[in-house]
Structures are given as C-alpha cells and as structure tokens.
C-alpha cells in the first residue's frame, strides 16, 4: 500500500495552522515534501493514537520530537523529510507563523516498510 496527498495548501497563513490528519492504517513509513514562500515560522510533527483526534487543536496530540524541520527564515525554499518509522495511528503537521507572506505547501508519501 502506498499513497500520496497534498495535506497542506495555504497562502499567507497566520497564527497556528494544521495540515489534514494523516491516517497511517497499516503503513509504517512516510516522507514530507515542503515548499514555502517568504514566511518565518516553525513546522512541527504531531501524533495521536486516539480514535478521533481533533485535527484543529493540540489537545488530542503529542508533538513528535524525533522528526525535526528547518525553521522557515523569511526566504522561499523547500525541505524533504524522511519521517521513518511511523508507529502512531495519526499524524499531522503544525505551522506556527511568526511573520511574512507567501504560500506553504506540504505533500506526503506514505508506504509500508
């Protein structure tokens, strides 16, 4: 099983914003491709094993500190993250905006080990 999805697509995001909730089902590996404009902020990965975690808050989620992203520093760029072993039931990406404008796009590829 493998699938791809465009999980985050926003122009000029502000505050804290979240990607779609990613259901891992029987998959165990995933990667993230990130492209962004002149934004300043941080991207973090969150995980949950709850049956139906709220995708629009941090309440039902725990931050995954094993996967790190470069901070967005105000000039457009891209990143590719191999997230490795995915043991949680759900994942999501959180963007905490500090300043700047531009697009932020995140794609995921999920596959079995």
The residues, ordered by sequence, that sit 6+ positions from 112 with a Cβ below 8 Å of its Cβ are 1, 2, 26, 27, 28, 29
Q: Return the HEC string of the chain.
A: CEEEEEEEEEECCCCEEECCCEECCCCCEEEEEEEEEEEEEEEEEEEECCCCCCCCCCCCCEEECCCCCCCEECCCEEEEEEEEECCCCEEEEEEEEEEEEEEEEEEEEEECC
Q: Please state the domain extents for the chain.
A: 2-111
pLDDT digits (tens, 9 = 90+) for 30-81: 899 999 999 999 999 999 999 999 999 999 999 999 888 999 999 999 999 9
87-106 pLDDT tens trace: 899 999 999 999 999 999 99
Whether domain 2-111 has CATH 3.40.980.10: the reply is: no
């Amino acid at each position: 099983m493998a699938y791809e999805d465009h999980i985050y697509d926003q122009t000029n995001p502000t505050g804290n914003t979240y990607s779609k909730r990613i259901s891992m089902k029987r998959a165990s590996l995933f990667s993230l491709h990130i492209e962004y404009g002149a934004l300043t902020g941080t991207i973090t990965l969150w995980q949950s094993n709850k049956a139906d975690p709220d995708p629009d808050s941090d309440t039902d989620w725990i931050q995954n500190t094993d996967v790190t992203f470069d901070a967005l520093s105000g000039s457009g760029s891209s990143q590719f993250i191999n997230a490795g072993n995915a043991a949680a039931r759900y994942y999501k990406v959180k963007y905490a905006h500090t300043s700047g404008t531009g697009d932020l796009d995140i794609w995921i590829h999920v596959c079995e080990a």
